[in-house]
Amino acid sequence: MPASLVTASGSAHAAVLGVGSYRPRRLVPNAEIVDAIDSSDEWIQQRSGIKTRRFAGPDESVQMMSVAAARGALEHAGIDAAQVDAVVVATVSHLMQTPAIAPAIAHELGCDAPVAFDISAACAGFCQGVGVASDMVRSGSARHVLVIGVERLTDILNREDRGTAFIFADGAGAVVVGPSETEGIGPTVWGSDGEQFDYIRQTEDWRDVIAEDSPVMPTLTMQGSAVFRWASFAMSKVGLEAIERAGITVDDLDVFVPHQANMRITDAMARSMKLPATVRIARDVADQGNTSAASVPLALHRMVEEGEARPGDLALLIAFGAGLSYAAQVVRVP
Ligand code: UT7
């Protein structure tokens, strides 16, 4: 008789227990960006809704911003770092191929030997992290999971590229996911479309860069219009599926926190999902720019701080970007 294995089991339900964020100190208005890309404040606001963004200073590293955001989320959740047994960091701007940044962040926070790893899914990374974390809590492979979305995109930004220089920015956001008596995180709807793999990417492969006589740091490049079309149409279907799979309707929704890519994408999604006028919509992109993996927790935390998202509210989170990859879920606001 072969030995049988024990089935892992965790909490019946998972929830977001706390949220925190870190915004870099330096505010950068459109006026500072426009000369290098032959643009104007008016054009940028009209096409993207962005008025200002924040660029990190030398001391505001990926690790520093992550630790600050995570401490805020832990405090909000009332959880000590020592109780965290998993740290999941979504980022594409930790500029070391290996090791991941998550173990260093966990160590600085004072977590006790947690599993710690990075997710490379660009703008979709945070919501993918929440999906992974809630599955970990329910399966019993972790009890409290810190999910951090962090970017220092200015390190890989071409300040003269008209298609990206005015969009991308820096920051960090974090949530604590843990056990709950009632369900706090609906099923995650996620996926990718590798046929559009090239639409947002690093300009060059590292091997090609180092083969050059005078190597130049690769930067981000994006086929903006194609991504815009994909995001505006395909992502509203993903959002509606997340709502349906959570067992609710758009009328039950209180808050909508989409990836802060472009105000016009947010508006197009809200229209096509037919969100009632009572749903409060995150519009952090206007002041913070597009911070990729950090944008959803930054926007959610702002709404919580400003009282626009209240404890117990139902919020649809959706994130999308390079890959092309996406993830969405309905969560109860902590
Ligand atoms: O976070 C990951 C996911 N990312 C996204 O979801 C971003 C999706 N894409 C976008 O948000 C938009 O595509 C942008 C905001 C990046 C660009 O807006 P757009 O409306 O798609 O502009 P476009 O590239 O189609 O260009 C329209 C016009 C062109 O001129 P003509 O051909 O109409 O005369 C461009 O040459 O605007 C011109 N243009 C600019 N003008 C001033 C392009 N970039 C600029 C610029 N300033 N920076």
Q: What pLDDT is attached to residue 1?
A: 83
Q: Write the pLDDT tens digit of every residue in 264-314.
A: 999 999 999 999 999 999 999 999 999 999 999 999 999 999 999 999 999
Q: Which CATH number fits domain 14-179: 3.50.50.60, 3.40.50.1010, 3.40.190.10, 3.40.47.10?
A: 3.40.47.10
- Return the residue whose CA atom lies nearest to atom 14 of ligand 1: 224
Per the annotation, the verdict on 144 as an active-site residue is no
Q: Is the CB of 266 under 6 A from ligand 1?
A: no
Predicted confidence at residue 260, as pLDDT, reads 98
Quick one: average pLDDT of 115-143?
98
Q: Is 290 a catalytic residue?
A: yes
Catalytic residue among 76, 123, 262, 301: 123
Hunting for tokens 């951090």 — which residue is that?
A: 148
For residue 298, the CA-to-ligand 1 centroid distance in Å is 24
123 has catalytic annotation:
yes
Q: pLDDT tens digits, residue range 85-94?
A: 999 999 999 9
Ligand 1 atom 4: residue of nearest CA: 261
- Tens of pLDDT, residue by residue over 245-258, are 999 999 999 999 99
Q: How confident is the model at residue 80 (pLDDT cuts 50, 70, 90)?
A: very high
Q: What residue ranges of the chain are covered by domains with CATH 3.40.47.10?
A: 14-179, 189-332
Domain 189-332 has CATH 3.40.47.10: yes
- State in Å: Cα 269 to ligand 1 middle: 18
Between the CA of 165 and the centroid of ligand 1 the distance, in Å, is: 11
pLDDT the model gives residue 248: 98
Whether the model clears a pTM of 0.95, i.e. scores above it, the answer is yes
